[in-house]
Structure 1
Amino acid sequence: MKTIINTTNAPAPIGPYSQAVAVNGLLYVSGQIPMNPATGEIISTDIKAEAKQVMENLDAILKEAGSSFAGIVKSTIFLTDMGTFADVNEVYGSYFTSDFPARETVQVSALPKGVNVEISVIAIKP
């Protein structure tokens, strides 16, 4: 049985998908972009600010589902410019303390709403 996870503390889906789905002890979190959930505004001041907003959106969804960054087992980072990798990696890394998840980072030609970074994760529910 699957459970749909939604919170007003993260951006509402902009298409036919859920923020996250929990099934069999795993949590699949849809890709998050740097959108402020309160205003709907896209954060685009710089790549570090964008990455921080993405991570805060992920945090809100993980918390709503009863998980945390410590529960993440896999993440995927999508970037429109691999030249921003070091800055995004710095922000991303600040949300973990040890036992880092498996991850890949992929450069793509475009992302929703013209953003520069999107991150999705798979986590366990402790």
Structure 2
Amino acid sequence: MKRESINARNAPNPHGGYSQAVKLEGFERLLLVSGQIPVSDDDKVPEGFEAQARLVWRNIDAQLKAAGMAKSDIVKVTMYLSDRQHATANREIRNEYLGSLAPALTVVVCQIFDERWLLEVEAVAAQ
């Protein structure tokens, strides 16, 4: 698969580890990961944004592995935050998980289904 980050010169420059667009050619598999929530496999919700964010990324990782994929295959992420105050911690934890990977990215501040959840994250992966 050929993957190319697209960041048009006549549009805003991305800041914070993402691409304005990601162009894919020659992929064979596409995985759409539903919004992953901060709930553990034993149905517990941790306290605090950082613990919840790390759990959400672990849940995404679990879905990727179950499909025979890895985080390096992620091409698009949509993040839903319950409060704008989590923006900095969200970016730091996302960058910690993704490293140098720069997928297309959208962050939305909104109400989330369960008031205990401080975020929900969906992803698209391709190979």
TM-score where L is the length of structure 1: 0.74
Task: Say if 1:111 and 1:118, in contact at 8 Å, map to a contact too.
Answer: no
Greater relative CO, 1 or 2 (CA 8 Å, sep 6+): 2
Aligned counterpart for 1:40 among listed residues 34, 38, 43: 43
User: What CA distance in whole angstroms lies between the structure 2 residues aligned with 1:90 and 1:102?
Assistant: 17
Q: Which runs of 5+ in 2 are unaligned?
A: 1-27
Task: Say if 2:112 and 2:119, in contact at 8 Å, map to a contact too.
Answer: no
Q: How does 1:1-126 map to 2 (within 5 A)?
A: 25-37=29-41, 39-43=42-46, 45-112=47-114, 114-125=116-127
What is the aligned-residue identity percentage?
Answer: 32
With over 3 angstroms needed to count, the CA separation of the structure-2 counterparts of 1:97 and 1:110, relative to structure 1, is: closer
User: In the TM superposition, what is the alpha-carbon distance from 1:97 to its structure 2 partner?
Assistant: 2.5
What do residues 36-81 of structure 1 show as CA deviations (whole Å, max 9, x unaligned)?
Answer: 11x10112x2101010000000000101101111100000000010
Kindly report the root-mean-square deviation, in angstroms, between the aligned alpha carbons of the 2 structures. 1.3
With over 3 angstroms needed to count, the CA separation of the structure-2 counterparts of 1:36 and 1:99, relative to structure 1, is: closer
User: What CA distance in whole angstroms lies between the structure 2 residues aligned with 1:111 and 1:85?
Assistant: 19
User: What CA distance in whole angstroms lies between the structure 2 residues aligned with 1:57 and 1:90?
Assistant: 18
Q: Match for 1:42: what amino acid?
A: V
Q: Which runs of 5+ in 1 are unaligned?
A: 1-23
TM-score where L is the length of structure 2: 0.74
Q: How many residues align?
A: 100
Task: Say if 2:112 and 2:120, in contact at 8 Å, map to a contact too.
Answer: no
Task: Say if 1:74 and 1:103, in contact at 8 Å, map to a contact too.
Answer: yes
